[in-house]
Amino acid sequence: MTSEERAESNAELVRAFLLPTIFLTVALLGGVRVTQAGELLFLPPPLITLLLASLLLLLFARGRLIELEQWFSYRLSPLTNLSNALTLLAIFFASAQALNAALPESGLLHWMLSFFFLWTLWNDLFAPFDARRLTRSLGVLLGTAFIFKHILVSSLYAPEGSWPRKLASALFEGVTLGMAHRFAASSGYIAFFALALYVVGLILTARLRPPRIEIVASRGDDHLMRD
C-alpha cells in the first residue's frame, strides 16, 4: 500500500467513524445541564435552534464545507451514501445542540441572542465566503455567545451581590434575562467542551472532503450527445 492509498484509507476512517462520533457527542453534551443539587438534566433543542441549524446546513453547502454532489451520488456505494447521510444528520443535530449550549435557556437574552444569530446567518447566505472563513466566523459567534451566557450572565446571578448584578437588576427590573442561575458552574465546562468539539469537527469536515467523482464520457456518449 502506497502512502497516498494509506492516507486515503485513513481519511475514509475519519469520515465514516470519527466525524459521526464527534458530532453525536456534541449532540449529547450540548443538552446536558447540571443543577445546583448536582442532578443531570438533558434539554432537547428548542425550535429556534433547529431553525438556526437548518440555516447552518445551507451555509455549509453554500460555502462548500459540505459538497453534496460529492457526498451523495449513484457512483458511490450504497453503504457510503448511507454513511454520509448519517454524518449529515449528526451535523444537523450537533449544530442545534451547540446553539442550545451557547444560548440562554429562556428570557429576554435568549430571544435577543437568537434573533442576533438568525439575522447574522440569514445575511451570510448572501455574502461571499469559503469553508475556512465560515468555520472561523462560526467559531467566533459561538465563542461570543458562550462568554456572554456562561461568564457575563452567570455573574449577574452570582450568590454574592456584585456590581454587574446590581446594574442589571436596575436596568431590567421585572424582566427575566435568562435562566443561567438554575444550573451549576459545571454546566459551563460541559458547554465549553461541546462547543470546542463542534468546531474541531467542522475543521475536520473542511479538511477531509470526499474525493471528487470524475465524470468521464466515452466516445460513444460524446457521439450520442452531438446527435
What grid cell was written down for 173?
427590573
The pTM score is 0.80
Judged by DSSP in three states, 35 sits in strand
Per-residue pLDDT of the chain (227 residues; tens, 9 = 90+): 676 666 667 777 777 788 999 999 999 999 999 888 888 889 999 999 999 999 999 999 888 888 888 788 888 788 888 888 999 999 999 999 999 999 988 777 888 889 999 999 998 888 877 778 888 889 999 999 998 888 877 766 655 555 555 655 555 555 555 554 578 888 889 999 999 999 999 998 888 755 444 444 434 444 434 44
Which structural domain, as residue segments, surrounds residue 204?
3-226
Distance, CA of 8 to CA of 211 (rounded, Å): 9
Longest dimension (CA), the chain: 82
Distance, CA of 167 to CA of 149 (rounded, Å): 17
Residue 41's DSSP bridge partners are 33
Q: Assign residue 64 a region (left: φ > 0; alpha: ψ between -120 and 50; beta: otherwise).
A: left
146 CB-contact burial (10 Å; exposed 0-12 / middle 13-18 / buried 19+): buried
Our count of domains for the chain comes to 1
**Residue at grid coordinates 446546513:** 57
Q: Assign residue 21 a region (left: φ > 0; alpha: ψ between -120 and 50; beta: otherwise).
A: alpha
